Amino acid sequence: MEACAGRRDLIGITGMTVIILGLILLSLFAAAWVHMCLSAPKGKRGRRPVPDKERAEIYARKLSRMLQYDTVSKPEYNVEDLKRFRAFQGELERLFPQVHARLECFRLDGNLLYFWKGKSHDRPLVLMSHQDTVPAEGEWKYGPFSGAIAEGSVWGRGACDTKCSVMGFLQAVEELLEEGYEPEQDLYLSSSCTEEVSGDGCPKIVRFLQEKGVRPFLVCDEGGGIMEDPVPGVRGSFAMAGMMEKGMANVHFHVSGNGGHASTPLRGMPVARTADFVHWMEHHDPFRKRMEKPVREMLRRLAPYGILPVRYVFSNLWLFGPLVAEVMPRLSPHAAAMLQSTIAFTQIAGSDANNMFPKEVILGANLRFIPHQDMEETLGLVEKIAAKYGLEMEVVSAEPSTAVSETEGEAWELFSRVARETFPEAPVCPYILTGGTDARFYQDICPHVYRFAPVVLGPEQKAGIHGIDEHISTDCLPGCVDFYKNLIRANR
Ligand SMILES: [Zn+2]
């Protein structure tokens, strides 16, 4: 009898606990609902400006001329290479005569720095984009150096990455000069010819500025852009500004063996060990996922524009943060790259002969680091896992993540106000750049480096960058010029 009563008590206590837990959960979800209604009401967008076809055509023709020059970069330039860049820069002189007549232009081994003196000098603005490109391989619909204007786009290597923005800021200054505008603040236009090979062009420009004692108030480089549907569940265009860049390393893994004839196969040979390691990395994903500040800020700003469940979750990261960090990578590889370090296996070399075991297998990989598990920790972790499979890791080159630019303060306010006014249809949103740009070199002399090219980078454009058939819509070119003009005018 007593035992039975005891069990009844136990059931009573457990039932009560379940009810209390249920009530706590319910009130948490209800609080989250109220928080969503207050902090992230449904987002409203401004109207997309009507495309200015006449201006679009003029700018498209200028960009087309720029794309007809081969400015493919190499780790080291010889005289012939410098001639190629000089020819391109000669074209810039013809396309933007006012800029070249009225601004001071410093040529630092093929890298360009223009200076337009302002009435005041306490808030220097730097607009930048590189003039070099990656090589153009494969079969193109229009030649990679044709500069073809067709199907509403300008086609060619560098159309998006990044001759469009070089055209944009040079044209902006050209027009301001024609209008008789005098800048309130100093302006610098910076364009390296070594961005694609992580060369020393931009560091040279930054050193030059440093020696002159210039501390930029705001730097706007390429990187982000007007992007569509940035994360699953959020539709429409957003002006995405990169606030930091992940770190990067290139590594080689070496596996030694004894060689030997393939007629007597043995277990655990170099190729098999390499394959085991790659397979393990692919299936275990050993890197920690966490939301860095720009990612939290991104989701918070995207929340009002998401479908209801997404709005509910993104506006309550205090409750759903860990869940989002787990689920997002499964929905989008791009989102995954913003939450964690990554490794991509890119090269492999083994035996020269089909019937011989290799004496050594070399596996190449590219790693990207996130601040919460930066260069040293990520490399240490990967080295340890590789060692379990008998692979020895050699670091070819490595660089940690950059600092995070501020999303508060005057510089951000200025940048985001101009972006909002120029692109009312695209809410401004910070994010993490998973690739690398020259902007990182400016981080030494400026805490407000925003990576944003004011052009539309839809899925087709993104596929063309470093791919084939790179092209940019002519309709977005007037917005690009306007953004730079507005930013120069607003910096007082
Ligand atoms: Zn690029």
What is the tens place of the pLDDT at every residue in 298-323? Answer: 999 999 999 998 898 898 988 888 88
Both tokens assigned to 208: 């030059």
In a domain, 123, yes or no: yes
What does DSSP assign to residue 412?
H
The pLDDT confidence band at residue 44, using thresholds 50, 70 and 90, is confident
CA of 7 to the centre of ligand 1 (A): 69
Domain end point (choices 399, 428, 462): 399
Q: What is the mean pLDDT of residues 49-62?
A: 94
Asked if 315 and 413 sit in the same domain, the reply is no
Query: Is the pLDDT reported for residue 332 higher than 90?
Result: no
Computed over every residue of the chain, the mean pLDDT equals 92
pLDDT in tens, 58-70: 999 999 999 999 9
Task: Name all contacts of 330-333 with Cβ < 8 Å and 24+ positions apart.
Answer: 331/231, 331/232, 332/231, 332/232
Both tokens assigned to 81: 């290479």
pLDDT in tens, 270-280: 999 999 999 99
CA of 465 to the centre of ligand 1 (A): 7
CA of 241 to the centre of ligand 1 (A): 16
pLDDT at 6: 64
CA of 306 to the centre of ligand 1 (A): 30
CA of 132 to the centre of ligand 1 (A): 9
CA of 239 to the centre of ligand 1 (A): 19
Distance in angstroms (rounded) separating the CA atoms of residues 243 and 429: 10
Asked if 229 and 282 sit in the same domain, the reply is no
Asked if 237 and 266 sit in the same domain, the reply is no
pLDDT at 77: 85
Asked if 230 and 195 sit in the same domain, the reply is yes
Strands 120-128 and 185-191 come out as parallel
The pLDDT confidence band at residue 4, using thresholds 50, 70 and 90, is low
CA of 197 to the centre of ligand 1 (A): 9
CA of 402 to the centre of ligand 1 (A): 18
Report the percentage of the chain scoring pLDDT > 90: 74
Query: Is the pLDDT reported for residue 347 higher than 90?
Result: yes
CA of 466 to the centre of ligand 1 (A): 6
Query: Is the pLDDT reported for residue 31 higher than 60?
Result: yes
Domain end point (choices 368, 399, 430): 399
Asked if 329 and 438 sit in the same domain, the reply is no
| Torsion sign, CA atoms 348, 353, 356, 358 | negative
Asked if 296 and 381 sit in the same domain, the reply is yes
Asked if 302 and 215 sit in the same domain, the reply is no
What's the gap between Cα 292 and its chain centre? 15
| Residue 469: closest CA among 167, 172, 161, 165 | 161
CA of 472 to the centre of ligand 1 (A): 14
In a domain, 119, yes or no: yes
What does DSSP assign to residue 466?
T
* Dihedral angle of Cα 416, 418, 421, 422, to the nearest 10 degrees: -110
CATH of the domain at 391: 3.30.70.360
Both tokens assigned to 45: 């967008």
CA of 229 to the centre of ligand 1 (A): 22
CA of 295 to the centre of ligand 1 (A): 23
Asked if 75 and 205 sit in the same domain, the reply is yes
In a domain, 104, yes or no: yes
Query: What are the b/e assignments for 137-169, b being 16+ CB within 10 Å?
Result: eeebebebbbbbbeeebbbbbbbbbbbbbbbbb
CA of 16 to the centre of ligand 1 (A): 61
CA of 133 to the centre of ligand 1 (A): 6
pLDDT at 373: 96
In a domain, 108, yes or no: yes
* Beta strand extents in 373-414 (DSSP E only): 392-399
Asked if 420 and 378 sit in the same domain, the reply is no
* Beta strand extents in 24-119 (DSSP E only): 104-108, 111-116
In a domain, 146, yes or no: yes
| Higher-confidence position of 124 and 359 | 124
CA of 244 to the centre of ligand 1 (A): 16
pLDDT in tens, 424-471: 999 999 999 988 899 999 998 999 999 999 999 998 999 999 999 999
Total number of residues shown for the chain: 492
CA of 227 to the centre of ligand 1 (A): 17
Q: How many CA atoms lie within 13 A of 196 on its CB side?
A: 20
CA of 160 to the centre of ligand 1 (A): 9
CA of 102 to the centre of ligand 1 (A): 30
CA of 454 to the centre of ligand 1 (A): 16
CA of 332 to the centre of ligand 1 (A): 22
Alpha-helix runs per DSSP H in 106-163 = none
In a domain, 15, yes or no: no
Q: Which domain holds residue 263?
A: 246-399
What's the gap between Cα 74 and its chain centre? 22
pLDDT in tens, 107-162: 999 999 999 999 999 999 999 999 999 999 899 999 999 999 999 999 999 999 99
Q: Which 3 state secondary structure label does DSSP give 9?
A: helix
pLDDT at 398: 94
CA of 404 to the centre of ligand 1 (A): 21
pLDDT at 334: 83
In a domain, 257, yes or no: yes
Query: What are the b/e assignments for 329-365, b being 16+ CB within 10 Å?
Result: beeeeebbbbbbbbbeeeeeebbeeeeebbeebbbeb
Asked if 104 and 174 sit in the same domain, the reply is yes
CA of 236 to the centre of ligand 1 (A): 24
Q: What share of the chain is helix, strand, coil (3-state, %, to 5)?
A: 45, 25, 30
pLDDT at 136: 93
Distance in angstroms (rounded) separating the CA atoms of residues 381 and 398: 15
CA of 166 to the centre of ligand 1 (A): 13
Query: Is the pLDDT reported for residue 191 higher than 70?
Result: yes
Total domain count for the chain?
2
In a domain, 47, yes or no: no
Asked if 60 and 184 sit in the same domain, the reply is yes
Q: Average the pLDDT over each of 34-38, 229-233, 363-367, 403-407 and give the range with the smallest value.
A: 34-38
Q: Which residue has the tokens 């007593």?
A: 2
Domain end point (choices 343, 377, 399): 399
Asked if 215 and 257 sit in the same domain, the reply is no
CA of 162 to the centre of ligand 1 (A): 7
CATH of the domain at 239: 3.40.630.10
Q: How far is CA 118 from CA 114, 124, 125, 183, 325, in A?
A: 13, 8, 10, 5, 46
Q: How many CA atoms lie within 13 A of 191 on its CB side?
A: 28
CA of 164 to the centre of ligand 1 (A): 12
